[in-house]
């Protein structure tokens, strides 16, 4: 009897153990982790999709700004990685590409909906807002009640949740709404058309309508169509560790003074009003600086994208024609007098002359690398490094890279390493380092900053 009892207990124990083991094995397969956070840390870059407008992300006087841009830049700094920004006006397309792995994060004002939750993971809410009807104040009779919308046509931006929201509203209240999605227009373009009475009605988030009303004086947004709803960012549906890291950072950020300052700057102050009145605002006329006509002319002469040349000038002088350095460099492109004279130019002070000499020198340096097997982007990076540090130091870094088994024709993670650490004795005292010491960290940052700003300009400024 004792033996039977022991056998029975043993059998029950093994059955329980087997059952527990089965449950443990099934857990990881519920939501597999794709290692996004680890990939970001390994590549050293956070790939983000955002939306181009005066609240999310834009370029002003050559500098990237925006509520979501400033926040996500802070998060990239928190992770210790670089930030790469792409823009997409179609929100649904952005979310699809997020799940396909093109982006690590979509950082824009996303409405948290049940349908989206089934496909993606939302962060903790950034803030809450509600949807409002926007109409022109000058029309004969303003719509004051939602039931007065019966049979009306409402225009909304393509790829947003406004269409599905209005469908539900129309069905629940039997409003028989006609909902028209507008392609290729931002919500600011649509609001402007309502302001000009070119479109009758649109729907937008209230906080956006509030800021738009500061410079569009004829729009009315008094009719609220929904309760307060959370607004958040998104990561792909199978990303958990990145989401945890984001939420931890975000909750800490929301407790700081910086968060309300950023929100008030882009959603509540007259900052955006002054922006729309500025010649530097892209959605008006695509201006980076007051020197754009000269930059475009000189860039065409050397076969460069004018936005790349503009990013060099911003890095060198911040578009200040009076800028001087401790080493004697002057003007927008920080031209050294002796370099200008060696190239055969006596005039280099005035903006037009300064940009001409600087652009000519860039092309002069670029030709030095023509004999090497460089693709177009690497050739640009090598040229920029030579503009900052001198061609001799770049050639040193190429020789060093090859001797250490790196690719001498690739900048990132190859030649840039030896430029960056050319201030170390073991590097600059190497026999292959014929030009000796170099403050390579400055050159490394110089190239990276220019390419980063060039990316912003390409995102936001027409060619």
Q: What is the per-residue pLDDT for 2?
A: 36
Domain coverage including residue 144: 131-226
pLDDT at 444 over 70: yes
Q: Which of 198, 226, 254 is the last residue in one of the domains?
A: 226
Listed residue (282, 355, 360) closest to 314, CA to CA? 355
pLDDT of residue 138: 86
Flag whether pLDDT at 8 surpasses 50. Answer: no
3-state secondary structure 353-368: HHHHHHHHHHHHHHHH
pLDDT, residue 34, reads 58
User: Does residue 277 surpass a pLDDT of 70?
Assistant: no
Q: How would you class 89 by CB atoms within 10 Å of its CB: exposed for 0-12, middle for 13-18, buried for 19 or more?
A: buried
Looking at the structure, tell me whether residues 113 and 185 fall in a common domain.
Answer: no
105 forms bridges with which residues in the sheet? 48
- 277's CB contacts (< 8 A; 6+ apart) are 215
Domain assignment present for residue 41? The answer is: yes
Say whether both 359 and 389 belong to one domain. yes
Is residue 321 located within the same domain as residue 449? yes
The predicted pLDDT at position 266 comes to: 86
The residues, ordered by sequence, that sit 6+ positions from 397 with a Cβ below 8 Å of its Cβ are: 385, 415, 416, 418, 419, 422, 440
Same domain, 100 and 249: yes
Assign 281 a pLDDT band (cuts: 50, 70, 90): low
Same domain? For 335 and 361 the reply is yes
Poorest-confidence range of 47-51, 61-65, 408-412, 438-442?
61-65
Query: Do 349 and 307 share a domain, yes or no?
Result: yes
Which residue is listed with tokens 């834009």? 58
Q: pLDDT for 125-161, tens place per residue?
A: 999 999 999 999 988 789 999 999 999 999 998 888 8
* Residues facing residue 46 across a β-bridge: 83
pLDDT in tens, 214-225: 888 899 999 999
Over range 406-428, report the average pLDDT: 96
Q: 340: closest CA among 329, 328, 348?
A: 348
Element (H, E) at 236: strand 229-236
pLDDT digits (tens, 9 = 90+) for 293-323: 999 999 999 999 999 999 999 999 999 999 9
**Percent of the chain scored above 90 by pLDDT?**
69
Half-sphere exposure of 162 (CA within 13 A, CB side): 29
Q: Which of 200, 226, 252 is the last residue of a domain?
A: 226
Question: Is residue 18 very low, low, confident or very high in pLDDT (cuts 50, 70, 90)?
Answer: very low
Task: Specify whether 265 is located in the same domain as 387.
Answer: no
Is-catalytic flag, 183?
no
CATH of the domain at 74: 3.40.190.10
Are 104 and 203 in the same domain? no
Label residue 184 by pLDDT band (50, 70, 90): confident
326 versus 382: the higher-pLDDT residue is 382
What pLDDT score was predicted for residue 100? 92
Whole-Å CA distances, 289 to 61, 292, 336, 448: 6, 6, 23, 21
Same domain as 450, residue 309: yes
**What domain count does the chain have?**
3
Same domain, residue pair 298 and 395: yes
Say if 94 falls within a structural domain. Answer: yes
Q: Mean of the pLDDT values across residues 167-173?
A: 94
Predicted local distance difference test score (pLDDT) of residue 6: 41
Check pLDDT > 90 for residue 395. Answer: yes
Domain boundary among 217, 244, 273: 273
Residue 4 falls inside a structural domain: no
User: Is the pLDDT score of 374 beyond 80?
Assistant: yes
Quote the distance between the C-alpha of residue 88 and its chain's center. Answer: 10
Catalytic residue among 316, 322, 350, 366: 316
368 and 261 within one domain: no
297 and 328 housed in the same domain: yes
The answer to whether position 19 is within a domain reads no
If you average pLDDT over residues 184-196, what whole number do you get? 87
Q: What's the whole-number average pLDDT of the chain?
A: 88
Strand-pair partners of 131: 205
The per-residue pLDDT for 188 is 84
Confidence of residue 37 (pLDDT cuts 50, 70, 90): confident
User: Worst-scoring range by mean pLDDT, 93-97, 283-287, 332-336?
Assistant: 283-287
pLDDT at 59: 86
* Percent above pLDDT 70 for the chain: 89
Tell me, what's the pLDDT at 22?
41
Is 25 domain-assigned? no
**Among 398, 389, 403, 404, CA closest to 438:** 389
411-432: average pLDDT:
95
Q: Does pTM surpass 0.75?
A: yes
Q: What is the mean pLDDT of residues 10-30?
A: 42
């Amino acid at each position: 009897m004792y033996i039977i009892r022991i056998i029975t207990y043993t059998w029950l124990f093994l059955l329980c153990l087997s059952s527990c083991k089965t449950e443990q094995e099934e857990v990881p397969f519920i939501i597999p982790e794709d290692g996004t956070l680890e990939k970001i840390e390994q590549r050293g870059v956070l790939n983000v999709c955002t939306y181009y407008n005066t609240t999310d992300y834009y370029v002003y006087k050559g500098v990237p700004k925006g509520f979501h841009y400033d926040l996500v830049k802070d998060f990239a700094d928190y992770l210790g990685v670089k930030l790469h920004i792409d823009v997409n006006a179609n929100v649904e397309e952005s979310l699809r590409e997020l799940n396909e792995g093109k982006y690590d994060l979509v950082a824009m004002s996303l409405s948290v909906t049940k349908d989206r939750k089934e496909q993606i993971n939302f962060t903790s809410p950034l803030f809450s807002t509600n949807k409002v009807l926007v109409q022109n104040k000058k029309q004969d009779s303003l719509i004051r009640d939602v039931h007065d919308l019966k049979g009306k046509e409402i225009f909304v931006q393509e790829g947003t949740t406004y269409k599905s929201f209005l469908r539900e509203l129309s069905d629940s209240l039997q409003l028989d709404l006609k909902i028209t999605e507008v392609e290729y227009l931002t919500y600011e373009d649509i609001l402007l058309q309502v302001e000009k009475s070119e479109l009758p009605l649109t729907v937008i988030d209230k906080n956006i309508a509030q800021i738009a009303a500061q410079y569009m004086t004829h729009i009315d947004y008094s009719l609220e169509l929904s309760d307060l709803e959370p607004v958040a960012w998104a990561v792909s549906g199978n990303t958990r560790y990145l989401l945890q890291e984001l939420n931890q950072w975000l909750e800490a950020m929301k407790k700081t003074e910086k968060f309300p300052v950023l929100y008030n700057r882009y959603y509540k102050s007259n900052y955006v009003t002054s922006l729309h009145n500025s010649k530097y605002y892209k959605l008006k006329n695509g201006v980076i600086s007051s020197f754009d006509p000269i930059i475009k002319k000189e860039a065409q002469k050397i076969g460069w994208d004018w936005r790349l040349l503009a990013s060099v000038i911003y890095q060198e002088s911040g578009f200040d024609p009076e800028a001087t350095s401790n080493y004697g460099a002057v003007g927008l492109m920080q031209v050294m007098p002796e370099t200008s004279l060696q190239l055969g130019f006596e005039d280099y002070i005035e903006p037009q002359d300064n940009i001409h000499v600087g652009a000519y020198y860039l092309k002069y340096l670029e030709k030095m690398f023509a004999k090497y097997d460089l693709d177009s982007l690497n050739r640009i990076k090598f040229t920029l490094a030579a503009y900052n540090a001198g061609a001799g130091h770049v050639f040193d870094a190429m020789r060093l890279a090859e001797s250490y088994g790196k690719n001498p024709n690739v900048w990132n993670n190859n030649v840039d390493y030896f430029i960056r650490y050319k201030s170390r004795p073991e590097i600059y005292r190497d026999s292959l380092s014929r030009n000796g010491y170099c403050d390579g960290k400055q050159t490394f940052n110089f190239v990276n900053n220019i390419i980063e700003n060039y990316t912003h300009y390409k995102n936001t400024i027409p060619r």
